Structures are given as structure tokens and as C-alpha cells.
Amino acid sequence: MKDEAYGTLRASAALWAGTSVLITNRRGQVLLQRVGYRPTRLLPGGAVDKGESPARGAARELKEELGVAAAVTRGLAVDWVSPAGRAAPPVMRFPGELLHVFDGGVWDEDRIAAVRPAPGEIEGIEFAEPADLPSLMSPGDARRVLSALRARINGAGPVFLEDGLPIAPTVLDRVGALGTARACHHLPFHPGPVPAGLTVRQSWVWAFAPDGRVLLLFEPDTGAPCLPGGTAEPEDGGDPLVTAVRECREEATAELGETHYLGYLSDPSGPRARVRYAAVLTSLGEAAVDPATGQTYVRVLATPEQALEFFDWGPSEAAEQLAAAHRGRTLLGIPEAVHPQPITEIVRPTTWERPARTGSRIP
């Protein structure tokens, strides 16, 4: 085929090209734009101009729409939006689109306050919980943003999507992580012992594998996350560590080695405390049904920083707990995990050999 004929053929199969930017605040909520020409919310972005790269287009759109100058260098997703995947009027003759999603990072309050929405185009911005995206955006846009957000947390590089869904789903996609509303627990963390007069209601564990990652559990039907641990029972004899060890066994068939107390969360709704431990994760057995919930949890290893992305603990409160978890990791003699790295599902029984050290207390 001659060049002219080849060019004509390729031109007849031309696609639209779009670009967008995923930005979150320190609570993990997604920046959305309100526009006058659509009833649904949008990420910052738009069409790629002729001769323009998607990354340059993303930076241009940020400047034009929000008045923010920023370099855009990290891609999160490339989505093939099919003609059937977008509700476009027939008169538009929509041929399909390749839509790029770039990482705009985490914005603090000062940067958010500097936003200047483009008059006549952007009516305003808002930050939305990931689970609320399907009610605020078009179905395809919401799928794309959730897929890109999971890719950012997962740290395995950009993902390829078709109508918003990954062609190679990760464990986060399979469980629908962030698709369920995150519990808002902005509770102050205290590194000292639980004061007299406070009842320890719950015990939770940062259970560290030898590579510095921690055990995280997802409900298989909702994707709701939790650290291993749970509510005290009479058979625990009032010992919060016994509660933590028992719950780890029941929820995840997880066995713990050396443990260190980290502190507690005070509960403003009553005279109760929720304690936190750091522990060595020594083994995981066959996945089993948790007798308390009837769930067989999906078990993954994630860096502590990745684990925090799935909870709404408040920026300062989460930072305090993360610092305490790393102090515990250091006391346990476990190295800091490389961050980010792909989140790994544990599907088979696994044992990590590590001798207990002096000072461990394992009920």
C-alpha cells in the first residue's frame, strides 16, 4: 500500500484523544469539577490539541481550568473509550477515544486555596469520597477514576482500561477496593498506656511480614478493608493482646510472633479505648470463614503507607498512627518496606521463619 493510501486508511480510523488529572487531598478524597455544560462532575482535563502530547495537554488544562501551574509526568491509566461506552449524541459521530489519566498528586490546603476556577467554564471544585464517585460522575468516568486511583495506590505502573475497566485486574480491582464508603474514624492516638477508667473495646494489629509490609484484609463482597483484630470477648480475660491474637487467628488464620504495644485511640462517644499493636507475622494458614462475620477475607500484604489509603482516619491522626507503626517495626527489627510496590494477595498457606526475640509476649 502506498503512503497516500495508507494515510487515508489510517485517517479514516482516527480516534479522539483526551487527557485528565487525578488529584486527591490529604484525606484521600478526589478533586472533581462542576461544569455548567454537564450534570455530572469531571476530573480536570479535556481534549488533546493537535500536535500536543497528552502530558502537555494535562498540564495545559490544569492551568486553564484551575489556574494551577504544575508539571504532569506520571501516568496512571490509558482508557479505550468505545463508541458504545460513551453516551454521545449520534450527530457527534463519536469514533472512540483514548483517554489518559495522569497523577496530579496529593494537594495540601494551601494549594487547594490557590485554585482559581476558569470563569464561565468551571463553576467550582469539590472533593469527593471514592465510593461517592458513581453517584457524581457518569458511569464510565467513575469506573475510570476508581481504576486509576487503585493503580496509583498499587504502585505497579500505569494500567490499560477498556471503558473504564482494567484489562488485567489486580486484587484491588477484583475486590472493588474503595467502592464502599470508608468509615470516618478521626480518633486521637495516644502512645501511652490506657488510663484507668477506659474500657478496651477493640484491639488491632499492624502485623509485619519480614519485608516490612503489613497484613491487610478486605471483605470479599464489598471491598471494605480492615487491619487484623477486633472486639474483646469474655474469654479473653480482659487482656487486649489476647483479643488481638485470637482475632488474627479467626479472621485470617494468622499467627503472630513478637509483639509490641503502640498505644490507643480514645473514643469520644464513651469511656472506651481501641488499642494498637505491632507484631511479627509468622504464618498464614488456609483462608477460612471468620466465625464472627461469616466472611472469608481476602488477605494482602501492603506497605503501611498503602494500607492507610484505604481508611479515612484523618490526615494528622493517620500520620500519628503511621509513625507509631514504624516505631514498632523498628523495635521488631524489621526493615522498612520499599514503597510503593505492588500489593500482593496471599492465597496459599505461608510461613515466615523468624526466631522470637527476648521481650516477646505471645498468648
**pLDDT tens profile 74-93:** 999 999 999 888 877 788 78
Neighbours of 54 (CB within 10 A): 21
Specify whether the CB–CB gap between 191 and 324 falls below 8 A.
Answer: yes
Helix (H, G, I), strand (E, B) or coil at 352: coil
pLDDT score for 361: 46
| Digit-coded pLDDT (tens) for 333-354 | 999 999 999 999 999 999 997 6
Angle among Cα 305, 308, 312 to the nearest 5 degrees reads 150
Q: How far apart are CA 22 and CA 20, in angstroms?
A: 7
| Digit-coded pLDDT (tens) for 232-276 | 999 999 999 999 999 999 999 999 999 999 999 998 878 899 999
Helix (H, G, I), strand (E, B) or coil at 240: helix
Pairing state between β 75-81 and 159-162: parallel
What's the whole-number mean pLDDT along residues 12-26? 92
Report whether pLDDT(24) > 70: yes
pTM recorded for the entire structure: 0.93
Provide the H-helix boundaries in the chain.
Answer: 3-12, 54-66, 109-113, 133-136, 139-154, 171-175, 240-252, 304-308, 315-331
Report whether pLDDT(358) > 50: no
| Residue type present at position 197 | G
Grid cell at residue 203:
484491639
